[in-house]
């Protein structure tokens, strides 16, 4: 019984954390992935529990596929989540990320280059 209660408490703690507004996009994506891996959520189920759309969950999870240098830029606040979502489909995500930061490109400008 204790294992189930501990597991439920951990699950609720993770859900509460991903609902906080002060998480950076990488932390949010890692929280989603942990709930999927360890607690068997589907993207749709997770979206329902946290009050977000399935597409939001899917797009956030895609950020985990980006290289570590881009994760660092997200954590440091150099890139927005919108910029990062554009980078997921870019041929050279790290190169475009540097250009976004150096040239102060908007998400729309970055999308045109991706």
CATH architecture of 66-114: Orthogonal Bundle (1.10)
* CATH fold match for the domains 1-65 and 66-114: yes
* Average pLDDT value over all residues in the chain: 90
pTM: 0.83
Distance (Å, whole) CA 97 – CA 114: 10
What pLDDT was estimated at residue 49?
A: 87
pLDDT at 39: 87
Quick one: pLDDT band at residue 4, thresholds 50, 70, 90?
low
For the chain, domain boundaries: 1-65, 66-114
Q: Distance between CA atoms of 36 and 73, rounded to whole angstroms?
A: 25
Q: Which residue has the higher pLDDT, 17 or 54?
A: 54
* 1-10, 14-23, 65-74, 81-90: least confident range: 1-10
The pLDDT value recorded for residue 30 is: 93
Q: Which one is the CATH code of 1-65: 1.10.10.2830, 1.20.140.10, 1.10.10.10, 3.50.50.60?
A: 1.10.10.2830
What is the C-alpha separation between 68 and 76, in angstroms, rounded? 12
- Rounded distance between C-alpha atoms, residue 74 and residue 59, angstroms: 15
pLDDT in tens, 36-86: 998 899 999 999 988 899 999 999 999 999 999 999 999 999 999 999 999
């Amino acid at each position: 019984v204790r294992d189930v209660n501990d597991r439920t408490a951990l699950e609720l703690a993770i859900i509460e954390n991903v609902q906080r507004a002060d998480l950076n996009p990488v932390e949010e994506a890692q929280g989603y992935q942990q709930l999927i891996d360890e607690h068997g959520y589907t993207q749709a189920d997770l979206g329902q529990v946290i009050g977000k759309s399935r597409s939001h969950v899917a797009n956030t999870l895609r950020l985990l596929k980006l290289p570590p240098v881009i994760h660092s830029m997200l954590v440091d606040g150099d890139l927005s989540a919108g910029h990062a979502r554009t980078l997921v489909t870019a041929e050279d995500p790290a190169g475009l990320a540097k250009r976004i930061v150096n040239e102060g490109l908007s998400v729309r400008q970055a999308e045109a280059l991706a």
